[in-house]
């Protein structure tokens, strides 16, 4: 179900099934504690602090409507705002048909952030993973009972501007839910072949071109990194899916490539995962889901960028033909790789996918991958790690993460980190022989497959799942990445020398 935006009724709120929500600046809390407008008791213990810069107070209003007041500290960070909204609103799509949102007590900047957050949150709150068997029948029955929720808004914006903010936010919420849906599909439902079909159908829906590099095409390209991972797969459904969107009308001139790791299941290969470590490995394709869903969001939003999306679709299986440590393979750019750990398959699959993405000389390549456990050990699952071949691009990703609420942490690559992945027999080792800082070594390895002249950002998706939810997401699987990319692209400017070279070619 998708929320519908409507203007605030002039004659006051109708009583039935409407949850009234007001956002106010922190300074207004004193007035409510005085009891001038409302009974003071519900507000008596409400306080704001550095740890809790957003405070929600909910009081009954009559018999059939709730009223929630959010008090917001000036300069509150976006993540804290999102976290406060999720915890304070606890929206129940089944119990509440509509929200009446009053933002007139906020500055225009804070009002825009809140409207965007609520627009996404209402969509995220309706998410449920795909159900099977009797659970699926019950879910279908429940769907028939639900009505589209309405969002009645009073804001400092014109109706057209409010709609623009809301529609963008709703689209990001839908995209995040697509990430979650794909990520939570069982491994026997989402295999490379069926994922290929889904991506192709979505490309058609979005008006994008679709191509697929199957085994023969990859062999022709000499994609030894990718093909090493899939040696044990007897079905040959693996490959690299490519979606292309060419904007209608006047284009921005920017060319952006999104790349995703799509390991539909990861056993670890001969370096097999043991015990609980193999649980949830059907979600090792989350990076590809982020790339695909973000592509769809940008297209639906009317992007003027030329977009390409590359999905490395594979499974890391075990058989007599599986790849082994100390083998040497050669990627499609001629770089030879000494295999160290078959459980480091993600970087192998991405190697040839990044080479392919760079062939069109994009202004920016962003790749997404659930690549390492080391990044989680470094920063937990509340942020994701970002790495880039430009310091300015890494810093932009950190700034964008703070601004949009999907936070990141920047790490270095290259320089003396190369020493740990040098090989005596190949151009590069797949990984270091120690797990310390593997997130840095993995990103350094990946940089071998990116043209130096192409700006490249790598997102190690530590925040794809967080116990108890994160930001606007109330569930463990967060859908992280769409909002971050949207904000990065709002801020990104192509390098002048690349823009000049393109203009010269024309």
For residues 404 and 68, give the distance between their C-alpha atoms in angstroms, rounded to a whole number.
Answer: 24
Q: Which helix (H) or strand (E) holds 445?
A: helix 438-446
Report the largest interatomic distance among the alpha carbons of the chain, rounded to a whole angstrom.
Answer: 79
β-strand pairing of 364-369 with 209-213: unpaired
Q: Say what the alpha-carbon torsion angle 177, 179, 183, 189 is, to the nearest 10 degrees.
A: 80
Tokens of 177: 């839910």
**Burial per residue of 324-362, b for 16 or more beta-carbon CB atoms within 10 angstroms, e otherwise:** eeebebbbbbebebbbbbbbbbbbbbbbbbbbbbbeeeb
Q: Say what the alpha-carbon torsion angle 132, 135, 136, 141 is, to the nearest 10 degrees.
A: 180
The answer to whether 225 and 277 have CB atoms below 8 angstroms apart is: no
Q: In what order do the strands lie in the sheet with 4-7?
A: 4-7, 150-154, 98-105, 18-25, 66-72, 54-60
Q: Which helix (H) or strand (E) holds 490?
A: helix 482-491
The answer to whether 170 and 162 have CB atoms below 8 angstroms apart is: no
Catalytic residue among 55, 347, 407, 475: 347
Catalytic, 154? Answer no
Catalytic residue among 154, 163, 273, 377: 273
Catalytic, 300? Answer no
CA nearest 323: which of 414, 409, 227, 431? 227
Radius of gyration of the chain (CA): 24
**Burial per residue of 290-307, b for 16 or more beta-carbon CB atoms within 10 angstroms, e otherwise:** bbbbbbbbbbbeebebbb
Q: Measured in whole angstroms, how far is the alpha carbon of residue 58 from the centre of its chain?
A: 31
Strand partners, 266: 316
The answer to whether 340 and 433 have CB atoms below 8 angstroms apart is: yes
Helix axes 438-446, 345-358, angle to 10 degrees: 30
For residues 454 and 367, give the distance between their C-alpha atoms in angstroms, rounded to a whole number.
Answer: 13
Tokens of 70: 């959010």
Q: Say what the alpha-carbon torsion angle 340, 345, 346, 348 is, to the nearest 10 degrees.
A: 70
For residues 1 and 25, give the distance between their C-alpha atoms in angstroms, rounded to a whole number.
Answer: 31
For residues 488 and 398, give the distance between their C-alpha atoms in angstroms, rounded to a whole number.
Answer: 9
For residues 196 and 4, give the distance between their C-alpha atoms in angstroms, rounded to a whole number.
Answer: 32
Which residues are marked as active site?
Answer: 273, 347
């Amino acid at each position: 179900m998708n929320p519908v935006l409507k203007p605030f009724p002039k004659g006051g709120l109708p009583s039935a099934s409407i949850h009234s929500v007001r956002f106010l600046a922190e300074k207004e809390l004193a007035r409510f504690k005085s009891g001038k407008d409302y009974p003071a008791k519900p507000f008596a213990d409400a306080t704001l602090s550095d740890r809790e810069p957003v405070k929600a107070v909910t009081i009954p209003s009559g018999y059939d409507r709730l009223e929630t007041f959010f008090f917001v500290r000036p300069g509150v960070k976006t993540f804290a705002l999102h976290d406060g909204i999720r915890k304070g609103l606890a929206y129940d799509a089944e119990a509440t048909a509509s929200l009446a949102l009053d933002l007139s007590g906020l500055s225009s900047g804070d009002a825009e952030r809140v409207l965007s957050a609520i627009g996404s949150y209402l969509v995220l709150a309706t998410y449920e993973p795909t159900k099977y068997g009797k659970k699926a029948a019950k879910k279908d029955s429940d769907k028939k009972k639900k009505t589209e929720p309405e969002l009645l808004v009073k804001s400092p914006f014109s109706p057209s501007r409010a709609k623009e903010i809301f529609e963008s936010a709703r689209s990001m919420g839908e995209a995040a839910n697509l990430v979650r849906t794909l990520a939570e599909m069982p491994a026997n439902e989402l295999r490379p072949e069926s994922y290929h079909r889904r991506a192709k159908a979505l490309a058609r829906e979005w008006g994008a071109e679709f191509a697929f590099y199957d085994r023969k095409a990859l062999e022709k390209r000499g994609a030894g990194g990718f093909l090493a991972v899939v040696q044990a797969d007897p079905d040959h459904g693996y490959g690299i899916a490519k979606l292309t969107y060419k904007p209608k009308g006047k284009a921005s001139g920017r060319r952006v490539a999104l790349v995703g790791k799509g390991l539909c299941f990861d056993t670890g290969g001969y370096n097999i995962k043991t015990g609980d470590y193999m649980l949830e490995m059907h979600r090792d394709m989350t990076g590809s889901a982020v790339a695909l869903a973000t592509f769809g969001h940008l297209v639906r939003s009317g992007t003027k960028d030329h977009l390409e999306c590359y999905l490395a679709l594979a499974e890391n299986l075990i058989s007599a033909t599986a790849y082994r440590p100390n083998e040497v393979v050669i990627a499609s750019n001629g770089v030879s790789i000494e295999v160290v750990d078959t459980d480091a398959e993600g970087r192998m699959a991405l190697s040839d996918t990044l080479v392919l993405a760079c062939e069109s000389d994009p202004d920016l390549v962003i790749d997404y991958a659930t690549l390492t456990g080391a990044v989680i050990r470094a920063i937990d699952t509340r942020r994701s790690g970002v790495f880039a071949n430009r310091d300015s691009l890494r810093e932009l990703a950190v700034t964008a993460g703070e601004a949009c609420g999907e936070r990141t942490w920047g790490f270095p690559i290259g320089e003396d980190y190369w020493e740990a992945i040098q090989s005596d027999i190949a151009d590069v080792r797949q990984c270091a022989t120690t797990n310390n800082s593997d997130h840095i070594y993995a990103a350094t390895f990946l940089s071998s497959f990116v043209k130096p002249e192409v700006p490249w950002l790598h997102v190690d998706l530590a925040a794809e799942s967080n116990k108890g939810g994160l930001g606007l997401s109330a569930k463990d699987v967060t859908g992280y990445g769409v909002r971050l990319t949207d904000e990065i692209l709002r801020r990104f400017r192509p390098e002048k020398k690349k823009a000049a070279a393109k203009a010269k070619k024309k």
